[in-house]
Structure 1
Amino acid sequence: MNKSEIQCGLDVSLAVIGGKWKPLVLYHLQDGPTRFSEIRRRIGGISEKVLIQQLRELVAMNVLVRHDHHQVPPVVDYALTPFGETLVEALVPLCEWGNRNRGQVAETLQQSSKVASM
């Protein structure tokens, strides 16, 4: 079976949002334009280099738009495109699933780490 015969669009979706950080970036941009420093603060744990890379990739995929205000000091913000808004809508059920199952996943991960340390 070749890729054109696959009925599930997960390969397409993951080509756009694949990776650890992109879904979180999209989540934090759903309320409107957000400055780079605010995105980084909200996500926590992401390096500046990785965030820049992830934002560039999302802009290149037409999921985000970058707006440079041409000020000194530099002011840049990012916002969802209409295409990006449809992607965020698709991620909402996944977010809800994570909230419902947070405890079970945490417990499973904790048990896995105990087994691995033995």
Structure 2
Amino acid sequence: MLILGIIGGVFGIVMSIFVIIGGIINLLADEGVFLVVAGLVTLSASITGIVAGVISAKKQDLASILFIIAAVVGSIFVRPFPFVGILFLIAGVMGLVKRPSGTTSKNT
């Protein structure tokens, strides 16, 4: 989960910077303000994904929920680039489904 969080976060930061720059260039147009806001929201979702990746070793459930929130928020605001949302969603589902190491299941 750590690797998916870092990769998704870095790609998300790069994409959000491109969206912010595009919004600043089109600031005089109607969509410029929306692009700047979308870029800032995506930047915060990407940072949330990186933070979730860092805390995933100690607090797996919290990190998984943060990953899923970052996936949904990032996918809503930057629809042409779903790659980051997909990475965060995979990491979130993996964290919720994966059992912590050292536990075994008993079939009794």
**TM-score for both structures, normalised by structure 2:** 0.28
Structure whose residues are more often helix by fraction = 2
Structure whose residues are more often strand by fraction = 1
Larger relative CO (CA 8 A, sep 6+): 1 or 2?
A: 2
Bigger Rg over Cα: 1
**TM-score for both structures, normalised by structure 1:** 0.26
